[in-house]
Amino acid sequence: MELQQLRICLGQRIKMKRALLAILMFLAIPALSCAAQFKVVRVTDDDTIKVDNNGKTSIIRLVGIDAPEKSKKKNDPGQPFSQKSTKYLAGLVLNRSVEIRSYGTDRYGRTLGVVYSDGKNVNLEMVQAGLAEVYRGSPAKGLDLNAYKNAEKEAREAGRGMWSMGSQYVSPMEWRRKYK
């Protein structure tokens, strides 16, 4: 009788552990791949936007890309193509409802996200237009940059956007180092 009760108890523990593991896996998967709807209320610069979700504002840094730097000084145009890049991004998302797939946060507390407008990957569109390059730092965990790298190569070979500058082109990362 005691042996039978012990078997039942052990069987129940195993079932509980399996159920707990299944619940934890179920909860973890949406956190990694879930996209949410937001309204873009401001384009801060060419790779950062501000969104509203039911009165809560968040800053989104377009993950996987780096775009020409805006100037921090008044009356200074900043890096070539920075203004054009910002206007292009605004045309894609400003005052529109977008979906954002989050890849965590950066050191400034901004959400790192892939932004989708009308089903199109806005981050990728910026690279295809030659108005952003693939981010040269450590990639966000779980983000596949292959499509971005292919788009950058294509834009560079076609001389689109900032790639039209040829040897005069300076990456945003280099620009920040030089003008910090």
Examine the residue annotation and report whether 2 is marked as an active-site residue of this protein: no
**Helix intervals (H) in 34-145:** 82-93, 122-128
Query: What is the Cα–Cα distance from 170 to 69, expressed in whole angstroms?
Result: 10
Tokens describing residue 116? 């989708």
Examine the residue annotation and report whether 61 is marked as an active-site residue of this protein: yes
Active-site residue (options: 101, 110, 125, 133): 110
How many CA atoms does the CB half-sphere of 23 hold within 13 Å? 6
Active-site residue (options: 2, 7, 69, 156): 69
Q: Are 172 and 78 in contact (CB under 8 A)?
A: no
Q: Are 88 and 47 in contact (CB under 8 A)?
A: no
Query: What is the Cα–Cα distance from 179 to 170, expressed in whole angstroms?
Result: 12
Active-site residue (options: 61, 125, 133, 156): 61
Q: Cβ atoms within 10 A of the Cβ of 111, count?
A: 17
Examine the residue annotation and report whether 110 is marked as an active-site residue of this protein: yes
Active-site positions read 61, 69, 110
